[in-house]
Amino acid sequence: MSPPPSTSFFSVAIVLLGMMLPQSKAQLNATFYANTCPNVSSIVSNVVQQAFQSDSRIGASLIRLHFHDCFVNGCDASILLDNSSSILSEKFAGPNVNSIRGFGVVDNIKTAVENSCPGVVSCADILALAAESSVSQSGGPSWSVLLGRRDSLTANQAGANTAIPSPSEGLNNITAKFSAVGLNTNDLVALSGAHTFGRAQCRTFSNRLYNFSNTGNPDSTLNTTYLTTLQQICPQNGSGTALANLDPTTSDAFDNNYFTNLQNNQGLLQSDQELFSTPGAATIAFVNNFSSNQTAFFQSFVQSMINMGNISPLTGSSGEIRSDCKKVNGS
């Protein structure tokens, strides 16, 4: 006997809803390697800890690799692929060239993981684990990273040129780029908080220091004392690659000072300060909340990192587990 029409409609609706939900939520899980590589988290953590000994920037660099990976074709380690006869590397896209770093540490992690569990752990998962380890070892929160991503067979340099937010872009554009990968305003502000550590090159913010938007003057949302400091680091026509701390107060610690800096007009990048100084922006309330409540920031940051890590992963039999993160197997 067939069920009444309403029941069958309900069943179909449930199936359709299931198809519409992001698959990643169901397929990524924190215990993916429990039987095949149970020590993977500590292996990654140990290599990151070693890297910190000689490079205080490496944590910020590793989390940025994961971010720039996920925003282009999803979290698939496409950013790690070198140029080849068939691949135009994302490493040479505008937002990445002479800027993105940490590839050697990723290779070191991969080598250590392969020694323990050959052919099991993806490079995409290594990026997600390295990001968590970088945050937790810098005084930030720790969390259970969802795992089970596989590695892409190709890269998307053109996508990297258009999808990754730029430091001199307007808040509306940046919000749209987050929205395009399923991330909301809370995610945007929380993930921007990763600029609580790391450095930026003068060329990424010098547009604010002398002739902002062709006004002939510096960006009016820059604290004047801070402006003077930045002009000393980045003199007009000076080296575009000189470095400034993204957080001038606690440059290597993962804390909520980034948001207090924004309230004091001490955001380094235009894209940072806009979160607080854009009149009427929905981002302002999040900045104020995170500035006054580090626990709220940490909780939001963890959830937003998980959300970002869920962007369009390759799972199941899609993609592959690369044996060398820089190239597709067999190439």
Which parts are annotated binding residues for Ca(2+)?
69, 72, 74, 76, 78, 90, 196, 247, 250, 255
CA separation (Å) from 109 to 13, 123, 191? 44, 9, 24
Residue 194 CA to residue 275 CA, distance in Å, equals 14
The answer to whether 68 is a known catalytic residue is yes
Specify the DSSP element, H or E, that contains 123.
helix 123-136
Please give the annotated binding residues for substrate, written as ranges.
Answer: 165
CA–CA dist 323, 183 (Å, integer): 31
**Set 57, 64, 66, 68: catalytic member:** 68
Return the closest-CA partner of residue 131 out of 114, 151, 96, 106. Answer: 106
Q: In what helix (H) or strand (E) does residue 69 lie, and over which residues does it extend?
A: helix 58-70
Determine the residue type at 131.
A
The set of long-range contacts for 274-278, using a CB threshold of 8 Å and a minimum separation of 24, is 274/170, 274/171, 274/174, 275/171, 275/188, 275/189, 275/192, 277/221, 278/171
How far is it, in rounded angstroms, from Cα 224 to Cα 246?
17
List residues forming the annotated binding site: 69, 72, 74, 76, 78, 90, 165, 195-196, 247, 250, 255
Which residues are catalytically annotated?
68
